[in-house]
C-alpha cells in the first residue's frame, strides 16, 4: 500500500488491539490520538468518520472506514497476507479462525460486562443471551486454549483478539480469568510477542 492507514487510538482503549494487529502485519500506519473527555464529549474528527464516536476506527487510504475490532483485524489479515495472520480462504481452518475471531465481541465481552457491571442483578436468561452465561464462555475458552494456538499450530489474528481481551480482563481482576493458570499461560505466551511489546512499551 502506498499510503498510510489511519487508526483513531487511545492507549487506554480497545484500540490497543487494532494497534497490535497493525504492528504484527508491519503495516504502514499512523495513529490519530483521541483524548477521553471527562464530560463525555466526542472528538469532532472521530465523529466525522464514525458517528458512533467509538474506537478503534480505521481509515483506509481511499477513505473507506472500518469499525469494530474483529472487522479491523480481519481486514488487516487479508490486506497483508505476507504476515500470515489468517488461514487460507475456503480452508477448514478458516472456519475455526472465524469462530474465534468473532467469539470475543459476541460472547466474551458481553458476558464479562454482565458479570462485572451487573454483579448484583439476576443473570440474563441463558436462552436469551447469545453468550449463554459467563461460566459457559470461560469453560469454552478454558477447554480450547490449553494448546498453543486457537487455529492449527500457528499464531493468527484470532489469537491476537482473544489474547488481547483476556489480557485486558486480567488487568481488572476478572473472575476465572486473572486467577486461571491455563488462561494466564496463554496470555503470557502472546504478550511476549515483539509486536505486543512495541505497542504497550513492555
Domain ranges of the chain: 5-83, 92-194
Q: Is the pLDDT of residue 2 over 60?
A: no
Average pLDDT over residues 179-194: 96
Average pLDDT over residues 166-190: 96
pLDDT at residue number 1: 43
Q: Residue 69: what are its φ and ψ, rounded to 5°?
A: -55, -50
Can you name the residues that pair with 57 across neighbouring β-strands?
8, 67
| CA atoms of 104 and 139, how far apart (whole Å) | 14
Task: State the average pLDDT for the chain.
Answer: 94
Asked whether the beta carbons of 9 and 59 are under 8 A apart, the reply is no
pTM, two decimal places: 0.94
Residues 28-63 have pLDDT tens digits of 999 999 999 887 789 999 999 999 999 999 999 999
Residues 96-154 have pLDDT tens digits of 999 999 999 999 999 999 999 887 888 888 888 889 999 999 999 998 998 889 999 99
Asked: is 92-194 a CATH 1.20.1050.10 domain? The reply is yes
73: Cβ–Cβ under 8 A, 6 or more apart, which residues?
Answer: 17, 18, 21, 101, 157, 160, 161
C-alpha distances (whole Å) from 80 to each of 16, 90, 91, 157 are 19, 17, 18, 12
Domain 5-83: state its class.
alpha beta
C-alpha closest to that of 138 among 166, 173, 102, 114: 166
pLDDT at residue number 90: 96
Percent with pLDDT over 90 in the chain: 86
| CA atoms of 186 and 104, how far apart (whole Å) | 15
Amino acid at each position: 500500500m502506498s499510503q498510510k492507514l489511519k487508526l483513531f487510538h487511545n492507549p487506554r482503549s480497545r484500540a490497543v488491539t487494532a494497534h497490535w494487529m497493525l504492528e504484527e502485519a508491519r503495516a504502514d500506519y499512523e495513529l490519530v490520538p483521541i483524548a477521553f473527555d471527562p464530560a463525555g464529549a466526542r472528538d469532532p474528527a472521530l465523529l466525522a468518520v464514525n458517528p458512533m464516536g467509538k474506537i478503534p476506527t480505521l481509515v483506509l487510504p481511499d477513505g473507506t472506514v472500518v469499525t469494530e475490532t474483529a472487522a479491523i483485524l480481519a481486514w488487516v489479515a487479508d490486506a497483508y497476507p505476507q504476515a500470515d495472520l489468517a488461514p487460507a480462504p475456503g480452508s477448514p481452518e478458516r472456519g475455526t479462525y472465524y469462530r474465534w475471531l468473532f467469539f470475543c465481541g459476541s460472547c466474551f465481552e458481553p458476558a464479562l460486562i454482565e458479570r462485572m457491571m451487573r454483579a448484583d442483578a439476576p443473570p440474563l436468561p441463558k436462552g436469551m443471551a447469545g453468550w449463554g452465561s459467563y461460566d459457559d464462555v470461560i469453560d469454552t475458552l478454558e477447554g480450547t486454549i490449553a494448546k498453543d494456538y486457537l487455529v492449527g499450530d500457528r499464531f493468527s489474528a484470532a489469537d491476537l483478539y482473544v489474547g488481547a481481551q483476556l489480557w485486558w480482563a486480567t488487568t481488572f481482576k476478572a473472575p476465572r480469568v486473572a486467577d486461571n493458570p491455563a488462561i494466564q499461560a496463554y496470555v503470557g505466551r502472546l504478550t511476549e510477542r515483539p509486536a505486543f511489546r512495541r505497542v504497550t512499551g513492555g
